[in-house]
Structure 1
Amino acid sequence: MDILSAEFFQRALIGGALIAVTAPLMGLFLVLRRLAMIGDTLAHVSIAGVALGFLVNVYPVAVGLLFAILASFAIELLRRTYRTYAELSIAIIMSGGIALASLLFTMGKGFNMDVSSYLFGSIYTLNQTDLAVIAGVTIIVLSMVLIHKKELFLLTFDEEAASVSGLPVKYFNIMLSVLTALVISASIKIVGALLVSALLTIPAACSLTLSRSFRQAVVLVVIIGEIAVLAGLWIAGIGNLAPGGTIVLLLIGILAVSVMTTRIMRA
């Protein structure tokens, strides 16, 4: 079809295929650690960075990435401060991110700030720089996960046992937060900051419903992410629909089928 031969659509497919590996994979770790909302938090902080990037005329994704990484360190610091109420860290940083973003939006009213593409996604506008950033993030995330897969498994399912066994829990918590920040910053131009948490959490929900082991969950979460992103892009391209919204609605459809299938099999 004509759209498949279009250069902008080919870039969209490449970028989508790469982020469909890393976002659901990191999302699985977050969901299992009861930190599913961290995606929304870092996405809002990233948007504040994007707005600042437009204001100072610096590559917006790079500034958003810096903001997200700093926010990930802040979340980990607050988690350690409020151990009993760890979810407070997410609420505090999210509030700060929204407040800073709104302030920067107000300051940028007189400038050409195309922030809407980062809020709702604009995968068809990906350029070579965006693809290079996404590819770099994918390599970093997959490398760290493969190198530390045993440690991450233990940390995910029993943080106290990991600490008692001598694992540097603080280091790995920060590493997971930073990797998540990298993925979210690379994802916001694909599905948008308002929808990026769906790409993190819904594939994880599907895989946990269908899988019987952690290894199966890891494989399924990537497969589901790839199917949703690539099929969503194709449907959006053919029907002239919003890519980010199409991908998320397709993910919800896959989740509904997964839940129904599991219930039928258990009946």
Structure 2
Amino acid sequence: MADVFSKLGLYLQYPFVQYALIVGILIALCSSLLGVTLVLKRFSFIGDGLSHVAFGAMAIAAVLHFTNDIPFVLLITVVSAVLLLRTGQNTKIKGDASLAMISVGALGIGYLIMNIFSTSSNLSGDVCSTLFGSTSILTLTPVDVWLCIILSVLVISVFIFFYNKIFCITFDESFALATGVRAKLYNLFLAVVIAVIIVLAMNLVGSLLISALIIFPALSAMRLFNSFKSVTICSAVLSVVCAVLGLLISIGFGTPVGSTIVAVDIVSFFIFTILGKFIGGSRQ
């Protein structure tokens, strides 16, 4: 164990590890803020759908040899989020069906493009890194970090500024409409913000594990708290702690970053579930 701490002390001196921690904390914070809303509105799997779209966009960006693929991936994912919301409102194509169409279609086409046009000598490794975030978080450039900081600050500011509106459309959209809140507009706005978070989170846990980063902290917080504000705050704190622990464990023991963070989130969920039952039983 002493060797692990020595290894961590050594690695923490390197800029790429510091970049990974900064980005990991910001992504975990942004994901957790909207995770509570997605769970309560039963939109949990929208993260899966948009993450697969982002994978397809990254495949196209790789084929076109973009030096920085984040703006392109962000644009495609945001447009897909808007289309997903619009299509889900069509009576002929229900929301879950449109989500499945976009999700599976983007994932399949993305992998097909990478197989046909990729010039990489390690295609399997590239796909694995994109899907599971095995190493990308440790190869961030200062430009990537600053872009993540700007987008994260934007997401957090939007959540704080529109907190009351988000609260209204989360619990009672019909009541929100009756009181003059433009629920459809805010749902669209929410979808765009989620798309931004998805693109940011791909570097941390990969496209297949993004939903875990969004859902688990929210579900864990709901084991202990009942109010929206308390659950949101607890989810944010827990998400950041799990992300940092996952990153440190990954660096110390050489495990995949994304999978390790998800494993820590799962453990925390079971701990919070046990605490919730214990505290709930003691209150009765």
Report if TM-score (shorter chain) is over 0.5: yes
Deviations 1:175-217 (A, max 9, x none): 1000000001011011111111110100111111111211101
- Aligned with 1:80 (options 66, 75, 89): 89
Q: Which residue of 2 aligns with 1:221?
A: 235
Residue 87 of structure 1 and its aligned partner are, at CA, apart by: 2.1
Deviations 1:40-83 (A, max 9, x none): 10000001110111111222222221121011011110121139
Query: Number of aligned pairs?
Result: 267
Residue 6 of structure 1 and its aligned partner are, at CA, apart by: 1.5
For 1:15 and 1:88, locate their aligned partners in 2 and report how far apart those are by CA, in whole Å. Answer: 33
Question: CA RMSD for the aligned pairs?
Answer: 1.6
Report if aligned partners of 1:52, 1:63 keep a CA contact under 8 Å in 2. Answer: no
Q: Which residue of 1 aligns with 2:4?
A: none
Tell whether 2:150 aligns with 1:136: yes
Residue 111 of structure 1 and its aligned partner are, at CA, apart by: 4.7
Q: Which residue of 1 aligns with 2:38?
A: 30
233-242 or 252-261, which deviates more: 233-242
Please tell me the residue identity of whatever aligns with 2:131: L
122-131 or 148-157, which deviates more: 122-131
Please tell me the residue identity of whatever aligns with 1:129: V
- Aligned with 2:128 (options 113, 116, 133): 116
TM-score, normalised on structure 2? 0.89
- Aligned with 2:24 (options 6, 16, 22): 16
3-state secondary structure, aligned to 1:189: helix
Please tell me the residue identity of whatever aligns with 1:202: F
3-state secondary structure, aligned to 2:205: coil
Q: Which residue of 2 aligns with 1:201?
A: 215
Residue 224 of structure 1 and its aligned partner are, at CA, apart by: 0.6
Report if aligned partners of 1:82, 1:88 keep a CA contact under 8 Å in 2. Answer: no
Larger radius of gyration: 2
- Aligned with 2:111 (options 102, 118, 124): 102
Percent identity over the alignment is 28
Deviations 1:2-41 (A, max 9, x none): 1111111111111101111101112111111100000110
Q: Which residue of 1 aligns with 2:5?
A: none
TM-score, normalised on structure 1? 0.95
Residue 109 of structure 1 and its aligned partner are, at CA, apart by: 3.4
Q: Which residue of 1 aligns with 2:77?
A: 68
Report if aligned partners of 2:62, 2:118 keep a CA contact under 8 Å in 1. Answer: no
Tell whether 2:66 aligns with 1:54: no
Q: Give structure 1 regions of 4+ aligned residues with deviation exceeding 6 angstroms.
A: none
108-117 or 74-83, which deviates more: 108-117
